[in-house]
Amino acid sequence: MTVTQNLMGLGLKVLNRLGGAKALDDPKLRKTATAVLKTGAATGFRLIGTVNRQFKSVRGPNKALRPGAASTDLFDLTPSDEQQMMRDTLAGFAAEQLRPNAQAADTACATPKAILQAAAELGIGSMQVHEELGGVGGAERSVVTNAIIAEALAQGDLGMAVACLAPVGVAAALAEWGTAQQQSTYLSSFIDEKAPVAAIAVLEPRPLFDPFKLSTSARRTDAGGYVLSGEKSLVPMAASAELFLVAASTTHGPQLFIVESGAKGIHITAEPAMGLRAAATARVRFDNVQLNASALLGGGEGDFSYENFIARSRLAWCALAVGTSQAAQDYLVTYCNERIAFGEPISHRQAVAFNISNIAIETDGMRLLTWRAAALAAAGKPFVREAALARRLCADKGTQIGADAVQLLGGHGFVKEHPVERWYRDLRAVGIMEGGLLL
Amino acid sequence: MINLENPKKFRGLVDQAHQVAKEIFRPNSRKYDLAEHEYPKELDILGALLDGMHASGAGEGAGAAGVRRDSVEDQGNRNSSNLSTALGTMELCWGDVGFLLTMPRQGLGNSAIASVANDEQLKRFAGRWAAMAITEPHCGSDSAAIRCSATKDGDHYVLNGDKIFVTSGDRADLVVVWATLDRNIGRAAVKSFVVEKGTPGLELVRLEHKLGIRASDTVQFALRDCRVHKDNLLGDPEINVEKGFAGVMQTFDNTRPLVAAMGVGLARACLEETRKTLEQAGIVIDYNRPAMVQSAAAAQFMAMEADYEAARLLTMQAAWMADNRKPNSLQASMAKAKAGRSCVDIALKCVELCGSIGYGEGELLEKWARDSKILDIFEGTQQIQLLIIARRLLGKTSAELK
């Protein structure tokens, strides 16, 4: 494809959305944001089961539409034109909308609706949806593009990035593994600003959690459906979600189930944590929730791979760690150059400067490992080992970078006047989270 | 399009380098580790083979010839000699770092000549083995403090001074000597001179006994009124304070990723050997399940692999940028810093994981752990790399951030 074709395709659609996004109007957004935060704090969490949309199968292709493989024979670190454009657009969004509102969202344990809507209008959901279903994606698997998107958003704020990306992960999973019916029922609704809030639920509340040994189970019923039982932890956006993708053990190993939040037997309680607070994390308990046979993602046939699903989910957290580590690095460069001690900037001391060098080295390494695994996934090649190594590096170094960032600011790093204490809390999540998101 | 796999077109070259490492380097590794200073004659055939490969243009990546930056029109994404040389270096150092350093006609001096020599010099020094003499007894990383002097006398320069830690100084035909035209000016006055072995006044003082890379000879030279023709000066003979150190440092922007590649190759050797040893002992490494629910050995192994991958990809990034004419000084230093410290860390941990098998001379792990340490020292120590990186990120001069 030529540059022009690229720009004419996805590019123009995204630009068009950006131009028309009402929520980017700054004073308005701030007003809405304040309103949402106030309501959110007042009402708190609710037991779900009321105001839900009816997901209806729209007329669509009778065969599931799978994204194509994207690959090349040369080593290349240059993003495509459309990836670069998404990156620039979202970097602007992250700097102007996420960063200034991050502390308020962290305190309120909620991301303003206007921000979620603005993110959707930028096309991050539509990109997962095939053109035949009304989206702007589908030609190529968007794992690398999603990594670039996640990194850009997390440079603004990790918690709000999780809130924005939770539905994107569900959409990407439906695109990759959903049946034709699941795609026409659910995937087609992710294309505009009215996209449903949705989240992936894998993690369970116990030490040494292993996503390959789930307590949550889906038992087959005589009628051919399933009964879902179990408890999921730190599910982003759970209270407002209309749709869950739930990992549960079956007689055929772990599988994913599409669960509408209106189903009977779903109990949601707020589970605020050390970080990720803007993502409104919650416990979700499934008490004998009755599901139709059609709830099984991929319908039990085809190419669903739980290993690949878990690996792509881990990669989302890696990409977020890269973005927030980069934010920390940039913040430290400015701070350490401006902070004077003993008559000169503290950046003139090797003990300070070398710490920043190491943060830069590890952040770059984290990005390269994440990209490598994402590119392999996009090309349809094995990537489980590469994703595992990316996760190891991002969890270890990301956490260290969060700690170093606070340390370099000293007492100023410990107070909420600066964002680094939040980055410290958010980066700790990377090695803990399973599910929640997906690239 | 973003892709971080080894390019297909270098597969043949990588396979070839791997065969050399496996069939020639590895079987001779222990022999020359024990017989320090003995010339590894097995490498002679290899040297001839490499010369043939270079002559036919098929030898990209096998050694020091590939780091020259040619002026070629920009034609989109390029994977060329910097990347292929890095990949070839990784394979050869998977075999043996010491042998790579003492490959005939593949010295650091050859890299300097290939990078900065003019066409006449390139022709005149073709096919000769060139060592590099920078370090002096009183100065290592601080190469601006060089005392070895070069005084103009007619058509010649007269060199006086002492040089230590010269790799392949005994075996090479030429020595590229760094000397200053004027000690008061600093970096800008430092020039490099090609000195032929046998030139009166160039004296080999001694051969060092080392912790590792014993197959490679390291020597001390004394230069006493050593006369070198002015045509043997590499680069610009004038003292250009503005351009300063750029001429001599250009070599290092191109060779730092190669030293990083040495560390990457050595680290992979350690990891592969350790995995084999652990698996024989019944340890299972599972990339799906969380590290915390696996054995401590498996968890540590995966953490080491993650660092290895970061070092490897940072190295490929730096080389790829050089291939694509992107300024890569920052990335070259990041690669060298990460690979240097990771290969030492990985090698020493692998020795621990394998216990007495790792520590004993029955296997090569203990040797690799000794060899690894030099990779975090030469071509700029860990600390020097961190300084370069910090100055670039923070926008500091060497006077501000010392």
A113-157 residue pLDDT tens: 999 999 999 989 988 998 888 888 878 889 999 999 999 999 999
Neighbours of A107 (CB within 10 A): 13
Nearest to B289 among A73, A210, A396 (CB): A210
What's residue A350's pLDDT?
A: 97
Structure tokens at B395: 């926008």
Which residue, B57, B111, B372, B387, is CA-closest to B250? Answer: B111
CB-nearest to A392 from B5, B79, B306 is: B306
Tell me the shortest Cα–Cα distance from A371 to chain B, in angstroms: 8
pTM of structure: 0.91
A218-224 long-range CB contacts below 8 Å, 24 or more apart? A218/A248, A218/A249, A218/A250, A218/A255, A218/A257, A218/A291, A218/A296, A220/A250, A220/A251, A221/A290, A224/A293
Contact check, Cβ <8 Å, A364/B334: yes
Handedness of CA B357, B363, B364, B370 (dihedral sign): positive
Q: Is B379 a catalytic residue?
A: yes
Concatenated DSSP letters of B291-334: GGGS-HHHHHHHHHHHHHHHHHHHHHHHHHHHHTT---HHHHHH
Of the candidates A76, A344, A375, the beta carbon closest to that of B77 is on A76
Task: Give the nearest chain A residue to B401 (CA atoms).
Answer: A348
Q: Which helix (H) or strand (E) holds A253?
A: strand A253-260
User: A424 to chain B, minimum CA–CA distance in Å?
Assistant: 21
Q: Which of B23, B42, B379, B400 is catalytic?
A: B379
Which two three-digit tokens encode residue A25? 């109007």
Residue type, B190: V
Q: Are residues A77 and B307, on separate chains, in Cβ contact within 8 Å?
A: no
| Per-residue exposure over B126-165, b if at least 16 CB sit within 10 Å of its own CB, e if not | eebbbbbbbbbeeebeebbebebbbeeeeebbbbbbbbbb
pLDDT at A139: 80
Q: What is the rounded average pLDDT of the residues A150-177?
A: 97
Q: Which of A237-241, A400-404, B51-55 has the lowest mean pLDDT?
A: B51-55
CA separation for the pair A246, A61 (Å, rounded):
25
Q: Name the least confident of A26-30, A141-145, A203-207, A330-334.
A: A26-30
CB nearest to B401's CB, from A77, A353, A392: A353
Tokens 């370090």 found at = B135
**pLDDT-based confidence at A19, cuts 50/70/90?**
very low
* B14 touching chain A per CB within 8 A: no
Q: Do A392 and B386 touch (CB under 8 A)?
A: no
Query: Which has the closest alpha carbon to B151: B123, B121, B189, B111?
Result: B189
C-beta atoms of B292 and A379 within 8 A: no
What distance in Å separates the CA atoms of residue A313 and residue A398, rounded to the nearest whole number?
A: 17
B 64-123 residues inside an 8 A Cβ radius of A: 77, 79, 83
Dist. CA A157–CA A422, nearest whole Å: 9
Interface test with B, best of A352, A392, A433, A439 (most B CBs within 10 A): A392
3-state secondary structure of A111: coil
Residue A267 has pLDDT above 60, yes or no: yes
Q: What is the C-alpha to C-alpha distance for residues A182 and A55, in angstroms, rounded to an integer? A: 10
pLDDT score of B243: 62
For chain A, what is the radius of gyration of the CA atoms? Answer: 21
Instruction: Kindly report the backbone phi and psi dihedral angles of residue B353, in degrees, each rounded to the nearest multiple of 5, phi listed first.
Output: -60, -35
Query: What are the chain A neighbours of B385 within 8 Å (beta carbons)?
Result: 357
Residues 6 or more apart whose Cβ sits within 8 Å of residue B61 = B10, B13, B14, B17, B81, B83, B84, B85, B86, B87, B88, B89
Q: Do B293 and A210 touch (CB under 8 A)?
A: yes
Q: Which residues of B touch A307 (CB under 8 A)?
A: 288
- Residue B74: the pLDDT is 57
User: Nearest by CB to B303, which of A74, A374, A392?
Assistant: A392
Tell me the percentage of chain A whose pLDDT exceeds 70: 87
Give the pLDDT score at A61. Answer: 73
Per CB-CB distance under 8 Å, the chain B contacts of A329 are 393
pLDDT in tens, A283-293: 999 999 999 99
Selected residue with higher pLDDT from A432 and B45: A432
A364/B contact by beta carbon, under 8 A: yes
Contact A436, A199 (CB under 8 A): yes
Q: Give the number of beta-carbon pairs within 8 Å between A and B.
A: 163
Judging contacts by C-beta atoms under 8 Å, the chain A residues touching residue B256 are none
| Residue A4 pLDDT exceeds 90 | no
Distance CA B261, CA B67 (A): 13
Radius of gyration (Cα) for chain B, nearest Å?
21
Closest CA of chain B from A339, distance in Å: 13
Q: A243, A198 in Cβ contact below 8 A?
A: yes
Contact B1 A336 (CB under 8 A): no
Contact (Cβ atoms closer than 8 angstroms) between residue B14 and residue B91: yes
Instruction: State how far Cα A9 lies from the chain centre.
Output: 24
Say whether residue A321 is in contact with chain B using an 8 A CB cutoff: no
pLDDT above 90 covers a percentage of chain A that reads 77
What pLDDT is stored for residue A59 in this prediction?
65
Under 8 Å between Cβ of B150 and B201: no
CA-based nearest distance B57→chain A, Å: 20
Chain B residues with CB under 8 Å of A333 CB are: 393-394
Closest residue of chain A to B338, computed from CA coordinates: A361
Comparing alpha-carbon positions, the chain A residue that sits nearest to B331 is A361
Question: Each residue of B42-81: b (16+ CB within 10 Å) or e?
Answer: ebeebbebbbebbeeeebbbbbbbbbebeeeeeeebbbbb
Does A396 touch chain B if contact means CB atoms closer than 8 Å?
yes
Mean pLDDT (10-residue bins), chain B, 402 residues: 96 94 96 95 81 54 47 75 94 96 87 88 94 90 86 97 96 95 88 96 97 97 98 90 61 82 98 98 97 97 98 98 93 98 98 98 98 94 96 95 94
Average pLDDT over residues A163-190: 95
ipTM at complex level = 0.92
